[in-house]
A and B are shown apart, each in its own frame.
Chain A
């Protein structure tokens, strides 16, 4: 398991460096947007990683509700935390790109709003976990994760309809994409998927180790209390 982790980490590092080279050096500069378009190679893969991690969180939450496996709960927590980080990257890199290209930092467009609402839901999820006082945090958190997932289609349709009544920002027109751009994009997509999985995996291992330490400390405390009596 430890070797698998190290090999995976090395693979991810190699992919990320290759992706960086592809995105910054090999891919040609976009004609109308200029170099700022290169943020796209990180923005979209981060969004992809965030959505995948939120999906992992949902699956792990349902798994926990069915099987009551503490490992599923640790995975749900790790996926939600790392997902929020990636989602934050998306929400920060988006406006940096939008300002020079659209001329505005933010617009209440479907994808932007959906990402923001997802971010809000998962921040609420993490706050709930943080503030929970009972030993049943995993159950309550899993229930909230299921509620959040149920909310996503409703958010999607509401914003989709909301936006069709209002003017939309003009997106970049069609036209052919340079194959080197596509190559850089897909390399980064794979690299970021691996990166997200790697960070989530290490967070998961950390969480499992932390719980083991807590359990042992509690057990030790009980034994010492028993011995001193």
Chain B
């Protein structure tokens, strides 16, 4: 099977599993909803204030929720030794990694698409800057989170208490990406300054870590 065929097969398998169980998406949605409600109580912002802080709130909520999905990425493959079977097969590791990263990307994007209207309603948001840049920031930011998240989730498979290990690895490395997402979103919402630098930084982050993950994933998969 070609490597794109393999990626497609794994991706479709994951999507079908998720479609039937809806484990990841349901827990992510409810978790993000809770974060929205709790932040709203904790800060009780006016419309003007919420425009200033919404960028941070949105992305922190998505980051926490994404960890829920990312933690389940590989755990599923441990049952029945699927990952071991994969390891001894001649299949290229990168096609597996890409399938998992794309799967997580789809899950988190669906989450964002469902949660954004709620954020707009609860925080009375209206973008004063160029709103068409928001989807670009969302796509780049989501990929930045899931590409590293998928990689670190595979790394934390080899540790004790792996559910807590993933955020401990992911959050420090993601600081520049998170800063870029939050600042880009805030600048678009307030319209006070341009988001251009942050979008460029996100592109650089995505390219750099996608390449690094593809180069190094083989080592992580075969580390047993």
Asked whether A146 and B176 contact (CB < 8 A) given A134-B223, A136-B223, A154-B201, the answer is: no
Give 16 A-B pairs besides A147-B212, A150-B208 with Cβ atoms closer than 8 angstroms.
A65-B219, A120-B171, A121-B172, A124-B172, A124-B173, A128-B155, A132-B158, A134-B158, A134-B223, A135-B224, A143-B220, A146-B216, A147-B148, A147-B216, A157-B176, A158-B176
* Chain A residues positioned under 8 Å from B158 (CB to CB): 132-134, 136-137, 140
Question: Is the beta-carbon distance between A121 and B180 smaller than 8 angstroms?
Answer: no
* Chain B residues positioned under 8 Å from A148 (CB to CB): 172-173
Asked whether A154 and B193 contact (CB < 8 A) given A131-B159, A134-B223, A140-B155, the answer is: no
Check A89 for interface membership: any CB of B closer than 8 A: no
Instruction: Give the one of B160, B173, B208 with max A CB within 10 A.
Output: B173
Asked whether A158 and B208 contact (CB < 8 A) given A132-B159, A134-B223, A139-B223, the answer is: no
A165 to B193, CA, bound (A): 9
Interface residues of A (CB under 8 A from B): 65, 117, 120-121, 123-124, 127-128, 131-137, 139-140, 143-144, 146-148, 150-151, 154-155, 157-159, 161-162, 165
CB distance from A68 to the nearest CB of B (A): 11
Question: Is the beta-carbon distance between A147 and B159 smaller than 8 angstroms?
Answer: no
Which B residue sits closest to A121, measured CB to CB? B172
A161 to B172, CA, bound (A): 19
Check B21 for interface membership: any CB of A closer than 8 A: no
Which B residue sits closest to A158, measured CB to CB? B176
* Chain A residues positioned under 8 Å from B220 (CB to CB): 139-140, 143
Interface-facing stretch out of B83-91, B114-122, B161-169: B161-169
A137 to B209, CA, bound (A): 21
B interface size (C-beta, 8 A): 34
Question: Is the beta-carbon distance between B160 and A147 smaller than 8 angstroms?
Answer: no
Check B112 for interface membership: any CB of A closer than 8 A: no
Question: Is the beta-carbon distance between A124 and B219 smaller than 8 angstroms?
Answer: no
Question: Is the beta-carbon distance between B155 and A121 smaller than 8 angstroms?
Answer: no
Instruction: Give the one of B171, B176, B205, B209 with max A CB within 10 A.
Output: B176
Question: Is the beta-carbon distance between A128 and B173 smaller than 8 angstroms?
Answer: no
* Chain A residues positioned under 8 Å from B165 (CB to CB): 127-128, 131
Q: How many A-B residue pairs have CB under 8 A?
A: 90
Check B179 for interface membership: any CB of A closer than 8 A: yes
Contact of B205 among A117, A134, A154 (CB under 8 A): A154
* Chain B residues positioned under 8 Å from A140 (CB to CB): 155, 158, 220, 223
Contact of A158 among B159, B173, B179, B223 (CB under 8 A): B179
Question: Is the beta-carbon distance between A144 and B169 smaller than 8 angstroms?
Answer: yes
Question: Is the beta-carbon distance between B159 and A162 smaller than 8 angstroms?
Answer: no
Question: Is the beta-carbon distance between A157 and B201 smaller than 8 angstroms?
Answer: yes
Question: Is the beta-carbon distance between A124 and B212 smaller than 8 angstroms?
Answer: no
* Chain A residues positioned under 8 Å from B223 (CB to CB): 134, 136, 139-140
Contact of A161 among B160, B197, B208 (CB under 8 A): B197
Question: Is the beta-carbon distance between A151 and B176 smaller than 8 angstroms?
Answer: yes
CB distance from A163 to the nearest CB of B (A): 11
Asked whether A162 and B155 contact (CB < 8 A) given A121-B173, A147-B212, A154-B201, the answer is: no
Question: Is the beta-carbon distance between B183 and A146 smaller than 8 angstroms?
Answer: no
CB distance from B105 to the nearest CB of A (A): 19
CB distance from A11 to the nearest CB of B (A): 36
Nearest 6 A/B pairs, CB to CB: A136-B223, A154-B176, A120-B172, A158-B176, A131-B159, A134-B158
